[in-house]
Amino acid sequence: MYPAVIESYVAPKTVQEALNALAAHGDDAHFIAGGQSLMQAIKSRLVSPKCLVDLQHVAELKGVWSDDGGLRIGAMTRYREIATAVPLAGAYEALRDAASHVGDRQVRNRGTIGGSLCWNYLAACTPAACIGIGASVELLDSKGKRRTLSAEEFLRGPLETARQHDEILLSVLLPRAAVKTGSAYKKWGLVTDALPVVGVCALVELAEDGRCRRARLAVGGLASGPRRATAGEERLAGLKPSDAEGIGAAADAAAAATDVQSDMWADQNYRKTLIAALAREVIATAFARAG
């Protein structure tokens, strides 16, 4: 299908210009980041904006940099840039894992982390990865008011977030990580570079004796949207990287406690099998990176 008529196009160079354009056109305006998901929705008329506000020239929304001891990722930072971002290695390497396998090469060259989070597609990698590593997002509205939400608060059901229409997503915030922290993400799709049927993210922080002091697990590809797997997190407490049986029990607990759906790609039992298998892998990798 052809898209409905788009009456105007704005290419701001600053965040304020972008917010001004959004305010001027009201509910008829829509931000466009990489456009990899939005343009498909516009062509199918799932979304019919009268005005597109293109964020690709807003330099202040791009890059990965240190901030207050943690890290900040601009909303317009592309997947290919995240996949090779050295500051993310180790503690937040799950994001590099996710960005390295989003879609195909063309999607990774155009798609952005902010666009992915704001779209919050059911089968997406970065939302689950952001929840798994404990990321937050920073938003700014047209009146200059900023607010920060955890990824769990921001990401709701599929295609739904806590962003208000007059807000722009500025950046993804990663807190200062302890020295012995590692994370990993892995998805399973029907073919290489496919959308994930299931994706699992793990983050572990080790104490001085090498045991797990803190853990986070998140699962993507769920009908309800990406979710924490707290049952698995609880089973990881106190484990050492060599405890394969304990890691397996934590992965099984995460799968058992996760509500999953049956669809044309996988039934409930197979999805739970995938969650358990992927969780074992990413937990082991996170332990190795933490060490």
Cα–Cα distance for residue pair 163/115, rounded to 1 Å: 12
Statement: residue 132 has pLDDT above 80: yes
pLDDT for position 235: 97
pLDDT for position 227: 96
Enter the tokens of residue 39.
Answer: 């343009």
Q: Please name the residues in contact with 155: beta carbons below 8 A apart, sequence gap of 6 or more.
A: 117, 120, 127, 130, 131, 161, 225, 226
Q: Please name the residues in contact with 112: beta carbons below 8 A apart, sequence gap of 6 or more.
A: 33, 34, 75, 76, 77, 78, 79
Cα–Cα distance for residue pair 234/254, rounded to 1 Å: 9
Statement: residue 13 has pLDDT above 80: yes
Statement: residue 17 has pLDDT above 80: yes
Mean predicted lDDT score pLDDT of the chain: 94
For helices 268-290 and 93-100, give the axis angle rounded to 10 degrees.
130
Chain CA centroid to CA 38, Å: 17
Amino acid at 208: E
4 and 47 in contact (C-beta within 8 Å)?
no
- Strand 64-67: give its sheet, edge to edge: 64-67, 70-74, 167-174, 136-141, 146-150
pTM listed for this prediction: 0.95
What are the pLDDT digits (tens) for 66-110? 988 899 999 999 999 999 999 999 999 999 999 998 888 888 989
* In the chain, ranges of CATH 3.30.465.10 domains: 61-174
**Burial of 55 per CB tally in 10 Å (0-12, 13-18, 19+):** buried
pLDDT for position 1: 64
pLDDT for position 88: 97
Chain CA centroid to CA 238, Å: 27
The domain 181-290 is placed in CATH, from the list 3.20.20.70, 3.40.50.10470, 3.40.50.620, 3.30.390.50, at: 3.30.390.50
pLDDT for position 86: 96
Statement: residue 194 has pLDDT above 80: no
Q: What percent of the chain has pLDDT over 90?
A: 84
Tell me which architecture the domain covering 8-53 has in CATH: 2-Layer Sandwich (3.30)
The domain 61-174 is placed in CATH, from the list 3.20.20.70, 3.90.180.10, 3.40.50.1390, 3.30.465.10, at: 3.30.465.10
Cα–Cα distance for residue pair 186/170, rounded to 1 Å: 26
Question: Average of pLDDT values for 10-35?
Answer: 94
Statement: residue 46 has pLDDT above 90: no
- With the C-alpha atoms ordered 136, 35, 93, 73, is the resulting torsion angle positive or negative? negative
Cα–Cα distance for residue pair 139/155, rounded to 1 Å: 13
Statement: residue 45 has pLDDT above 90: no
Ranking 68-72, 144-148, 212-216, 267-271 by mean pLDDT, the lowest is 68-72
What does DSSP say about strands 136-141 and 146-150: parallel, antiparallel, or unpaired? antiparallel
- Picking from 113, 3, 16, the residue whose alpha carbon sits closest to that of residue 60 is 16
Alpha helices in the chain (DSSP H): 15-25, 38-43, 79-83, 93-100, 105-110, 113-119, 126-132, 151-154, 230-236, 244-257, 268-290
pLDDT for position 61: 98
* In the chain, ranges of CATH 3.30.43.10 domains: 8-53
190 and 261 in contact (C-beta within 8 Å)?
no
What are the pLDDT digits (tens) for 220-246? 999 999 999 999 999 999 999 999 999
pLDDT for position 2: 74
* In the chain, ranges of CATH 3.30.390.50 domains: 181-290
Question: Average of pLDDT values for 208-213?
Answer: 96
What is the per-residue DSSP string for 146-200? EEEEEHHHHB-STT-BS--TTEEEEEEEEPPPPTTEEEEEEEE-SSTTPPPSEEE
pLDDT for position 209: 95
